Structure 1
Amino acid sequence: MADTPKKLDTPTDLETNAVRSVAEALNASLADSYAVYLKTKNFHWHVSGPHFRDYHLLLDDQATQILGTTDAIAERVRKTGGTTLRSIGHIGRLQRVEDNDADFVSAKDMLLELHKDNLKLVEGFREVKELAEDAGDNATSGVVDEWTDLAEERAWFLFETSRGA
């Protein structure tokens, strides 16, 4: 019975310690993605001012894009034999992006804060990339490039938009 796999074991040819490191980095990036998603939706719901419609739509589009990456990140963890986030509390323990519970945030401050947060996502994705390459995990190394590019694009749009806020 010693060869009986655990219920969530996923076979992989990657070395166990390397997989664990990649999964931990992916889970931290996943937690950050959820934190940035919720903050983006928060700001989408609470933005005000003369550019309301433009900012409201921009933030909704960006939130949708961020949420779209979360499943791919979590599934990458599982494909490599790891387990992923299970709760809001788990997200809170792993996230590196700070929440914003302020009653009011100016539109410009929203844009600048989300710019910084998306760059934090980029930083985390670059860490994932490095660990994946060290582990010989070509699939993770390849797919993380797309997530990095999307976060860089969001940061760019937020930066450029904040100039006129």
Structure 2
Amino acid sequence: MINIGINQAHREEIAAGLNQLLADSYSLYLKTHSFHWNVTGPMFTSLHLLFEQQYTELALAVDLIAERVRALGARALGSYSAYAKLTEIHEDQGVTKAETMIRELLSDQEVVIRNARALYPLVSQANDEATADLLTQRIQIHEKNAWMLRSLLSE
């Protein structure tokens, strides 16, 4: 029995939200890594490095998210099919234009931000400070990533 000051119903709901974040984060990791491998054009070097920085950070993040799910007493999802059912992030469909990659990753970063932020009311209600801290950190990183990607666009 888990007795950490958060009732079971709240733990289960928060874990479900974190599994959503895990699915989004892992899907974004895969897509960003694919774009890192496949980017071409005049911005190759800068995008290749930026994408590497972003997917490397995501690789570490998925572990933190999954471990928080486990600390709440739930099972962390760990399969492509489970992630595909939950995430709103679309797989790389063979995109070759750098600007399209930037736009897709920007949109995907914003998906992660919105889904992480949507979990806050429940986390606050449950007084789950540890998950709130994790969400705050994730939102800050994804907002910075979105800003960097947005800055590359000539709009």
Structure 1 residue 120 and structure 2 residue 111: aligned?
A: yes
Provide the secondary structure at the position in 2 that maps to 1:82. Answer: coil
Structure with bigger gyration radius: 1
Q: Deviation of residue 16 (structure 1)?
A: 1.1
Q: Deviation of residue 139 (structure 1)?
A: 1.1
Structure 1 residue 74 and structure 2 residue 57: aligned?
A: no
Q: Name the TM-score, length of structure 1 as normaliser.
A: 0.88
Structure 1 residue 133 and structure 2 residue 124: aligned?
A: yes
Q: Deviation of residue 17 (structure 1)?
A: 1.1
Match among 8, 11, 34 for residue 19 of structure 1:
11
The gaps in structure 2 that reach 5 residues or longer are none
* CA RMSD, 1 decimal: 1.5
Distance 1:128 1:37 in 2: 21
Q: Which runs of 4+ in 1 moved over 2 A?
A: 10-13
Provide the secondary structure at the position in 1 that maps to 2:119. Answer: helix
Query: Percent identity of the aligned residues?
Result: 32
One-letter identity of the residue aligned with 1:115: L
Contact 2:40–2:96 under 8 Å retained in 1: no
The gaps in structure 1 that reach 5 residues or longer are none
Question: Aligned ranges for residues 1-165 of structure 1 at < 5 Å?
Answer: 10-102=2-94, 104-163=95-154
Q: How many residues align?
A: 155
Q: Name the TM-score, length of structure 2 as normaliser.
A: 0.94
Contact 1:12–1:81 under 8 Å retained in 2: no
